[in-house]
Structures are given as C-alpha cells and as structure tokens.
Amino acid sequence: MLTKEYITELKNKGNGDLGYLVNGLKDNPSILYVLENMGYLPKNFDSSFLFPLLTHEYHKIRLAAAKNIAKINKVENLESLYQIFENEKDTSVRREIVSAIGRLRKKENKPYLFKILKDNDPKIVCQAIRGLLVFENDEDVKQNLEPLVNHQNEMVRTVIYKQYFADEANKDKPKSSLSHTETHSFLENVVVNGDVLDVLKYVPTESVHLTFTSPPYYNARDYSIYPSYKAYLEFLAEVFKETHRITKEGRFLIVNTSPIIIPRVSRSHSSKRYPIPFDLHPYLVDNGWEFIDDIIWQKPDYSVKNRIGGFMQHKKPLMYKPNAVTEYLMVYRKETTKLIDWNIRSYDKETTKQSIVPDGYETTNVWKIDPKFDKIHSAVFPVELCKRVIQYYSFKNDLVFDPFAGSGTVGKTAKLLGRKFFLTEKEPTYFDYMKSQAKPNILGEFETQFFWTMEEFVNHVLP
C-alpha cells in the first residue's frame, strides 16, 4: 500500500526508485498521491521523471509535477520549464511554472521572467513580478518593471506603484502633526450643529480613526430634500471626499444605506426605486476609498413595510415585490500602500490588549439585529449595530466620526466603548435632542462639548 512513509523511503534511497514508481503509475490515480507527498527535495534530486508529467493530460498531475520541480533549484531546468509554460493552457499550472522559475533567484532566470511580464493573464504577470522583486536594487529589473505602472491591470499597477513610486509621491502629501493613534483634543467628544460640509472645512487632515454613518435617505424624509438624485449623490460624494481627507491613513469608513422607494406620482405612474448603495459606490472608489466588505443588516419581517401583500392575493408573475428586510453596511478603507498590520502596530501593547474584540463576535456578513424605534428621530441606529462596527473597526481612545449624527447613537456607543467621538448634525431639533440626552449622562455631559453655531465651533478650533 502507498503511504507517505514509503514515498519518503524511496525518495531518500536516491537510486531512482521513486521515478520508477511514478513512471509505473502514469495512468493510475495514485500518481497524484505520490506527487503530492514527495515533501522536501534536495538540490541533487534526479527530477528527470517529473518533466514528462508536465504534458500529462490531467491538469492536476501537471500542477503537482510543476510544484515538485519548483522545489528543486536548478538553472538547467529553466529552458524546459519555459517551453512548457508557453504551451500550457491551465492558469494554475502556468502560475506554478512561473513560481518555479522565480524561486531560482538566479540572474539566469531574469530574461525568462521579463518575457513572462508580457503575458496577458495578470495573475501570471504578478507572479513574474514577484520573482523579479527578489533582485533588490537591480537596474535591469527596475527598467523592466517601472513601465508597468501604466499596465492595464489594476493589481499590476498597484504593486509597481508601491514598489517604485509610493515613497516619492507620499513625500509631498500634507502630513498630520500627530502620530497615527493620536487626535486633536479640540475634536474629542464634540457635537456641532451645522452642515457637515461647512464644519469639515475646519477639521485638519488625518484626524479621525473611523467613520460610521447613515446618510440622509434621498428625499425620503423631511430632513433630506435634494433637487435631483444626481445632486444627492454628488452631495454625499463631497461629504465622503472630505471624510477621506480627515481620515487617518488606512482607516475605515462604514456607510449604512439601502435602496429606497419614492412613491408614484399617480395611479398611472410607477413608484421608483433608487439603488443608493450601488450608485454611491463608484463615487467613493473614485475618491480614494478602497472597497473592503459588504455587510448585510437583516431586520425581522414584522419590522418592515409589507410589500408582498399585493402579490400574495393573485400570485401573478412580474408582480413579485419581496419585503425588504436588509440594509447594507458598505465597508471601505482609505487607500494606502501600507498593510493593516501597519495600522495595528501603531498602537501600544496595552491599548491593543484593551481593544481585543470580546467573544461572541459575528462571524458572517449577515448581522441579524432588531431596528430601533425612537419617538423623536425616525431613523436611529440600534446600539448593537454601532457596538459591532466600533469594536471591529477601531481601537480604544480612537476618534469616531459621524457626519450625519441624528440622535447621536454613534457618539453614545463610542463613549460606552472607551472611544472618543466627533459628530455633526444639521437639524437643530436633533442637535437639541442629543444635548437633552446628555443630561442624564448618556453622552456624559461634562465631557461632551456642544456647539450651537459654526462660529462657536470655529472659535473653539482656531487658536
């Protein structure tokens, strides 16, 4: 019986027995088991029996053979590997062959990798780039790679940009005077009654760690009247462009929206549904927000408007209108060449320890949470929703921003979780509501500063 131990034993004998076994199994499914369990292969391993397998009719066998050849660092293998690469159709086998060439880390492989850079599969090009980037400070490599910053594929462009251009470009960017974890004390636990776009003019670049918000719905409620859908989207785009400016490098924006319905004008017209999350998305990406995740907030059936009633009566096709029990939480990150690890490492050990997400966290992107009804504000966040977002996307003491604060749920929850908050709200009624709630220590009045007018806020910010 074939076992790993037996394969290892044959391999260690080094007298060709393993090759003999593989040749004998050419059309037997067990060949795959042997190829996948060959383990470490020394440089002097006789790999000649593996090369014919690179043209085997079954792609998994070709892939396994390529993986084993990749383990043996032999310059002599280069030309035959490249020839097989040229004729191979399966993308994973092709990648494995490029990886095998790249792993050689010898100057002889450079001309092959340069040729592979012209491949029309971006994954293959990235694999070749990876193989070339091991040659540090190599002029030849640099000359071949730099032009790929204009490559048609975005992944390729990003890798090259990060490698050769990012440092230079970042040198000229306005820098905050603060470290990544700090913020300005004049923004901490502040609520401003004003139009967010006016307020943000006075907020310095790279001040906030997280933004979580639910924008006004397009013409669905009194506080949100816009001349057109385009004007509405452009207004939100402007807010999130400014939010991008004030966000710290590599930090998150979470936008809660859902498609909305505008009722029909008369019986001879239809109502119109606006897919806000999908229409807003391109504006966000154009303004430097990188899409990370879509989280679905699912509400119970009983809590939403009944749309299915009409269909249930006659069950006629085309009349189907499901009850909309979901909203989106679209998660974005401020574009950066730095990894999330860099953000995490900016915090000291104690803060990181205190910010560890407690057990019981949500493991899927469907969050079942009951909506909250409020007698003053018609669209408030449930605290549980804010809790999750703040815990999963910020550290203790971070500054959490909500440009459309409403009743201030983001602020209250941020405080509850040991974060600071900065809120803007245009409607005096809701601003007043937040202030009134602060009395019984919900926002913690003595710590929270409420600014009734822009003038008051500007005086507070400007020295």
Residues that bind ligand SAM (CB under 6 A): 195-196, 214, 216, 223-224, 377, 379-381, 404, 406-407, 409, 424-427, 430
The residue among 194 and 250 lying less far from ligand SAM, judged by its C-beta, is 194
AA letter at 161: Y
The DSSP bridge pattern shows strands 247-257 and 260-262 to be unpaired
**Distances in whole angstroms, Cα of residue 318 to Cα of each of 205, 304, 310, 321:** 50, 21, 11, 8
Q: Say how far apart CA 261 and CA 331 lie, in whole Å.
A: 23
**Rounded to the nearest whole angstrom, what is the least distance from the CB of residue 194 to ligand SAM in the complex?**
7
Of 106, 126, 94, 107, the residue nearest 43 (C-alpha):
106
Write down the residue that tokens 């006629």 correspond to: 316
**Rounded to the nearest whole angstrom, what is the least distance from the CB of residue 384 to ligand SAM in the complex?**
12
Of 170, 181, 175, the residue nearest 204 (C-alpha):
175
**Rounded to the nearest whole angstrom, what is the least distance from the CB of residue 72 to ligand SAM in the complex?**
60
Asked if 403 and 239 count as a contact pair (C-beta separation under 8 A), the reply is: yes
**Rounded to the nearest whole angstrom, what is the least distance from the CB of residue 139 to ligand SAM in the complex?**
53
DSSP-derived letter for residue 55 is G
Q: Tokens at residue 145, please?
A: 């790679």
**Rounded to the nearest whole angstrom, what is the least distance from the CB of residue 233 to ligand SAM in the complex?**
14
**What's phi and psi for 163, nearest 5 deg?**
-70, -45
**Rounded to the nearest whole angstrom, what is the least distance from the CB of residue 424 to ligand SAM in the complex?**
5
**Rounded to the nearest whole angstrom, what is the least distance from the CB of residue 229 to ligand SAM in the complex?**
15
The residue among 347 and 457 lying less far from ligand SAM, judged by its C-beta, is 457
The residue among 279 and 427 lying less far from ligand SAM, judged by its C-beta, is 427
**Rounded to the nearest whole angstrom, what is the least distance from the CB of residue 172 to ligand SAM in the complex?**
31
The residue among 32 and 376 lying less far from ligand SAM, judged by its C-beta, is 376
CB-side neighbour CA atoms (13 Å) of 115: 12
The residue among 64 and 380 lying less far from ligand SAM, judged by its C-beta, is 380
**Distances in whole angstroms, Cα of residue 45 to Cα of each of 52, 96, 224:** 16, 19, 72
Q: Residue 328 is inside which H or E element, if any?
A: strand 326-334
**Rounded to the nearest whole angstrom, what is the least distance from the CB of residue 405 to ligand SAM in the complex?**
6
Q: Say how far apart CA 62 and CA 93 lie, in whole Å.
A: 7
Total Cβ atoms within 10 A of residue 268:
6
Q: Say how far apart CA 292 and CA 334 lie, in whole Å.
A: 10
The residue among 96 and 425 lying less far from ligand SAM, judged by its C-beta, is 425
Of 14, 12, 15, 16, the residue nearest 24 (C-alpha):
16
**Rounded to the nearest whole angstrom, what is the least distance from the CB of residue 283 to ligand SAM in the complex?**
16
AA letter at 221: R
The DSSP bridge pattern shows strands 272-274 and 260-262 to be antiparallel
Write down the residue that tokens 């992944």 correspond to: 155
**Rounded to the nearest whole angstrom, what is the least distance from the CB of residue 195 to ligand SAM in the complex?**
4
The residue among 11 and 419 lying less far from ligand SAM, judged by its C-beta, is 419
Environment class of 377 (CB within 10 Å of its CB; exposed 0-12, middle 13-18, buried 19+): buried
**Rounded to the nearest whole angstrom, what is the least distance from the CB of residue 193 to ligand SAM in the complex?**
9
The residue among 347 and 430 lying less far from ligand SAM, judged by its C-beta, is 430
The residue among 109 and 409 lying less far from ligand SAM, judged by its C-beta, is 409
The residue among 38 and 405 lying less far from ligand SAM, judged by its C-beta, is 405
Total Cβ atoms within 10 A of residue 462:
8
Q: Say how far apart CA 452 and CA 463 lie, in whole Å.
A: 19
The residue among 105 and 221 lying less far from ligand SAM, judged by its C-beta, is 221
The residue among 133 and 383 lying less far from ligand SAM, judged by its C-beta, is 383
Helix-then-strand count for the chain, H and E: 21, 11
